[in-house]
Amino acid sequence: MQSVTLSDGFQAGPFALLVQGVLSDTAQRHGDKLPGLRSRLGLIASDSQEEITLVFGDDGCLILSGLIEPDLTFCAESELLPRLQTVPAVLGVPLFVSPAGLELMWSLLLHPLRVYGLSLIFINPRRAGRALWDTARLVQLLAGTY
């Protein structure tokens, strides 16, 4: 069984397929699991305006079309996730001072990452905290291992 799947009937666009591929590769490196993630994260590709929601749970991820009740939503260029995979990690911590990490930071300066939904901190701090924790954990899982 795949740990990263598209929802039934979802006509996936290029961004959704890219995200599915990146998350599948990441899960494969971690025993075909995305351990410990339980949030709903929205992603918007700023270059194509394609919107998806990642629903994490049971060590896997379901990708939905559109933004469906995300805990947090991130808007960035579609290249961000594949670039995160090129950042080396030491003892599980992404090494952003590496050449790949510095290139990623430069890219983020030119095309900033936008985060929506941070007001959830005031409405449901536990849910917001979990989403922020899962985001940090996802970055850690995405980073390459050295």
For 123, the 3-state DSSP assignment is helix
Instruction: Please give the helix or strand (H or E) that residue 93 lies within, else none.
Output: strand 93-94
Q: Per-residue pLDDT for 1 more than 70?
A: no
Q: Which pLDDT does position 108 carry in this prediction?
A: 82
By the 8 A CB rule, do 118 and 69 touch? Answer: no
Distance of CA 14 to the CA centre of its chain: 16
By the 8 A CB rule, do 24 and 60 touch? Answer: no
pLDDT, tens digit, 9 for 90 and up, residues 96-139: 888 888 888 888 888 888 999 989 889 999 999 999 999 999 98
Q: Which pLDDT does position 41 carry in this prediction?
A: 96
Instruction: Tell me the domains of the chain and their CATH numbers.
Output: 4-142 (3.30.1050.10)
Q: Which pLDDT does position 146 carry in this prediction?
A: 40
Q: Which pLDDT does position 16 carry in this prediction?
A: 93
Q: In residues, how long is the chain?
A: 146
By the 8 A CB rule, do 75 and 116 touch? Answer: yes
Neighbours of 41 (CB within 10 A): 22
Token pair listed for 101: 């990490």
Cβ neighbours for 142, distance < 8 A, ≥ 6 positions apart: 22, 26, 81, 84, 85, 87
pLDDT, tens digit, 9 for 90 and up, residues 33-69: 999 999 999 999 998 999 999 999 988 999 999 999 9
